[in-house]
Amino acid sequence: MKKLLAIVITAALSFSLLACNKEVDPQQLYADGYKLLEEAKTYESSSTVDLNLEIEESESTVPLTAEEQQIIKTINSADIKVNSVVDTENEKYELSLDAAIEFGFIKPTIKTTLLMDMKNNMMYVDASALYDEFYMFVADMLPPNVDLSILKDHIIFADLEALSQEMEGEFSLEELTIAPEMKSSDLIASIAKENFTTLELTKEDKAKKAKNKVKLTLSNEEVKAIALDVLAKLDPEETAELDMTFIDQLTFNNFSVTTLFNKDGHIIEDEISVSFTITESEMMNSVTIDFAIITDYTNINKPVTFKINPDTDKKIDIMEVIQQVIMGQMDF
């Protein structure tokens, strides 16, 4: 199942970056737009995620329990927003999550922000938001002597190099790097021109100052082939050992990316629409996941502001948090 998810995620991530138009070759518009985003010194993005999970039951499968049905309802009720701030010059990347998830009769909001400072090998997490919004849901699951109130009004920081040494064998700094780097032109060139279609702009598109609109559509076989090719370049050994049975169990019902470009060829919005079904056997329920991600891009090559400021925010070392949890469990 993990390898199945790796293929799905790789496919989604590969084409989310490709969602990047002139009244010319739409394939070239994608290549140029992606390159502009790839080479941008700074930019911000704001995404909304719509997720829907369905499990198809049949006479030969085990019926879903009430707990499983509630989990599906919870997943489908989620309102998810993700904002990012990118500064490639200073190698700083910030991701903010705002998710409202339904639990029974309540729908709490979970907010947190993660900042990666790769130039200095540092990671920061807004622990205050985690404590305020999420702690009450996990407090009862923790041993009585584990006190995480130390997280309140603090950001957790981690020296990634030190953490890598401390957790040798479980975590490595190299895992946070993308290697080898793939050229966008190579990936786009592997897709047939017929897969790119120029669409007419709507009033809403024009209001966003869009100049061109292109839709990329891929079939089930095309998504799998490209995803496997990307995986092979990123991790040849793992891909070589991949059991193709997992691939056969996965069917992409839909895969499309609709992208808006401004007059300068920059991406201003993309919408990724994906639907896939996992069928492991006749005795197991088939699972269909549909998701749509709409992302707006702003402040390209303009000044950007990060929510987390390590110079002024109160900080706590992640090792101190881990020690607190360990000591609390030992006392318990």
**Greater model confidence, 27 or 322:** 27
**Greater model confidence, 316 or 114:** 114
Does position 167 have pLDDT exceeding 70, yes or no?
Answer: no
The reported pLDDT for the residue numbered 265 is 94
Does position 108 have pLDDT exceeding 90, yes or no?
Answer: no
Q: What gap in Å lies between CA 297 and CA 37, rounded to an integer?
A: 9
Q: What gap in Å lies between CA 216 and CA 223, rounded to an integer?
A: 12
Whether residue 316 contacts residue 157, with contact meaning beta carbons closer than 8 Å, is answered with yes
Chain segment 51-104, per-residue pLDDT in tens: 999 988 777 677 888 888 888 888 898 999 999 999 999 999 999 999 888 877
Does position 183 have pLDDT exceeding 70, yes or no?
Answer: no
* Residue-by-residue DSSP string for 106-120: B--EEEEEEEEETTT
Does position 170 have pLDDT exceeding 90, yes or no?
Answer: no
Nearest CA to 285 out of 91, 131, 56 is that of 56
Does position 196 have pLDDT exceeding 60, yes or no?
Answer: yes
Chain segment 289-302, per-residue pLDDT in tens: 999 999 999 999 99
* % of the chain with per-residue pLDDT over 70: 76
Q: What gap in Å lies between CA 80 and CA 252, rounded to an integer?
A: 23
| Band of pLDDT at residue 135, cut at 50, 70 and 90 | low
* Residue-by-residue DSSP string for 20-88: ----S-HHHHHHHHHHHHHH-SEEEEEEEEEEEEEEE--TTSPPPPHHHHHHHHHHHH-EEEEEEEEET
Helix (H) or strand (E) holding 216: strand 212-217
User: Which residue has 């700094």 as its token pair?
Assistant: 173
Cα angle, residue 281 at apex, residues 277 and 287 outer, rounded to 5° = 25
The reported pLDDT for the residue numbered 212 is 96
The reported pLDDT for the residue numbered 90 is 94
Most confident of 2-16, 19-33, 248-262: 248-262
The reported pLDDT for the residue numbered 36 is 92
The reported pLDDT for the residue numbered 109 is 81
In angstroms, the Cα distances linking 118 to 31, 196, 290, 330 are: 27, 35, 33, 35
| Band of pLDDT at residue 332, cut at 50, 70 and 90 | very low
The reported pLDDT for the residue numbered 9 is 45
Does position 117 have pLDDT exceeding 50, yes or no?
Answer: yes
Domain ranges of the chain: 2-331
Chain segment 63-75, per-residue pLDDT in tens: 888 888 888 888 8
Most confident of 90-104, 258-272, 281-295, 308-322: 258-272
* Token output for 207: 């209001």
The reported pLDDT for the residue numbered 180 is 47
The reported pLDDT for the residue numbered 22 is 39
The reported pLDDT for the residue numbered 211 is 95
**Greater model confidence, 130 or 301:** 301
Does position 39 have pLDDT exceeding 80, yes or no?
Answer: yes
Name the burial class of residue 323, with classes exposed (0-12), middle (13-18) and buried (19+) by CB atoms within 10 angstroms of its CB: exposed
The reported pLDDT for the residue numbered 303 is 96
Residue type at position 332: F
The reported pLDDT for the residue numbered 94 is 97
